[in-house]
Amino acid sequence: MIGSGEIVMNAFRQGLVIPSFNVPYLPMIEPVVRAVADQNSFAFIAIARVEWLNFDAIGPAAVAAEFARWDDPDHMRLHLDHVPVIDESGSRVEHLPILREGVSVGYHSVMIDASRLGLEDNIRATREAVELAHEADIPCEAELGAVMGHETGPLPPYDELFESGLGFTDVDQAQRFVRETGCDWLSVAIGSVHGAVSQATRDKRKVEARLNLDYLDRLRQATDIPLVLHGGSGVKQEMVLAAIPRGIAKVNVGTEIRQTYASAIADKGSVQAAQQDVYDRTVWLIRDYFGISGSRDRLV
């Protein structure tokens, strides 16, 4: 089976993108897999620590077991997303046991998020995670900069965040970071924000984010590895499409399908109806938003 690293590199080289669909509710997995296969596209199913703590995904093993029921290796891989060293509340996390669990239960790629550490500590923690992943022959994603949104408390106004470049990935640091960690993919901060996950804000509409494309050009030139856009839901479509040939080979999509599922459960009271809504929304994202129907044959 062709590895996740090679598939994402194929996307990077060809100016294509692979969506990574975060699934905080286990019944979301089947309709997402089905939609991707029906569109002959390629995608990841992903779960992040913040999601299994705040929603109903239980944990990495439960997601892996449900994924195995519907696994379609021609169209899907499983990604362990956002394993933090420091979490959203500022607490230390025993991250290596989580990464080891992901490897042991069959994830095809993992992500270490040491972005809340200083540069030197981020490099050290990321290098350790990369070594763990590469021993299992799977790629490791890392993050440099601050893609905001999961933190407790309100964010500053979005326009203020964007214009100030607060948290944007430093270009010079990115070049050094990639060289010294050996990470396979790099999550960069260029204007997107994560969807809120707190009970009070999880159903709120996301701000329509923008991307600093000139800044992205500089990051691609400095790193020359596949770049990842987190917080992909709600970003202006024309900016996402413009970012793809500039090095964004993977885009994380969570809020878009999570809110679709939760709204259907609340309004229709049926898991089956919610799954159909998730299927329809995933098809729309692949076909109409990203425009990547049929992309599988160019990637795998």
pLDDT at 231: 84
pLDDT at 232: 79
Residue 151 has pLDDT above 70, yes or no: no
Inside any domain, residue 172? yes
DSSP 232: -
237 falls in which pLDDT band (50, 70, 90)?
very high
Strands 109-113 and 140-144: parallel
Tell whether 16 is covered by a domain: yes
Give CA 208 to chain center in angstroms: 18
- pLDDT band at residue 199 under the 50/70/90 scheme: very low
Report helix, strand or coil for 21. strand
Q: Token pair for residue 239?
A: 């900016």
CA distance 135 to 225: 20
227-229 and 140-144 strand pairing: unpaired
Domain-located, residue 177: yes
Half-sphere exposure of 58 (CA within 13 A, CB side): 9
The stretch 23-27 carries a mean pLDDT of 97
- The C-alpha angle 238, 22, 91, rounded to 5 degrees, equals 110
- The average pLDDT across 241-269 equals 96
- Tell me the two tokens of residue 243: 């970012």
* Single pTM value for the model: 0.91
HEC string for 64-102: HHHHHHHCCCCCEEEEEEEEECECCCCCECCHHHHHHHH
Give every CB contact of residue 40 below 8 A, 6+ residues apart in sequence. 75, 293, 294, 295, 296, 297
Kindly report the CATH number assigned to the domain that includes residue 113: 3.20.20.70
Q: pLDDT tier at 147 (50, 70, 90 boundaries)? A: confident
pLDDT, residue 197, reads: 43
CA 41/CA 84 separation, integer angstroms: 30
Number of domains in the chain: 1
Inter-helix orientation angle 29-38/60-70, to 10°: 40
Query: Does residue 299 fall inside a structural domain?
Result: no
Average pLDDT over residues 250-267: 95
In a domain, 277, yes or no: yes
| Residue 140 belongs to some domain of the structure | yes
Domain, as residue range, for 181: 4-292
- 217 contacts 246 by C-beta, under 8 angstroms: yes
Choose among 65, 160, 154, 60: nearest CA to 110.
60
Least confident interval from 148-162, 228-242, 276-290: 148-162
- What would the two tokens of residue 165 be? 């470049």
300 assigned to some structural domain:
no
In a domain, 193, yes or no: yes
Take residue 182 and report the two structure tokens written for it: 């050996």
